[in-house]
Amino acid sequence: MNYAVVYLGGILFFSMLYWFLRGRKFYTGPLIEADVTDNASSSHERSSSGEDEIKGKTDEGGNVIA
């Protein structure tokens, strides 16, 4: 019998055990850097006047217009 299957099963078992006992509490996942939406009207309704001034000074790509 090839014992590679036994070692792999042991590694997977202890990895899942570690995840359930400790990993779930500390892992936060990847960072999300931007919230991109296609619906511009819903984001416009939620924005304040200060954000409207900033949005007016940027082009469609988000670059600042001087």
pLDDT of residue 11: 97
Would you write out the chain's pLDDT as a tens digit for each of its 66 residues?
A: 689 999 999 999 999 999 999 888 887 778 777 777 766 555 445 555 555 555 556 666 667 776
Tokens matching residue 50: 């200060």
pLDDT of residue 18: 93
pLDDT of residue 12: 97
The enclosing H or E element of 4 equals: helix 4-18
Contact 58, 65 (CB under 8 A): yes
pLDDT of residue 6: 94
What count of other Cβ atoms lies within 10 Å of the Cβ of residue 57? Answer: 11
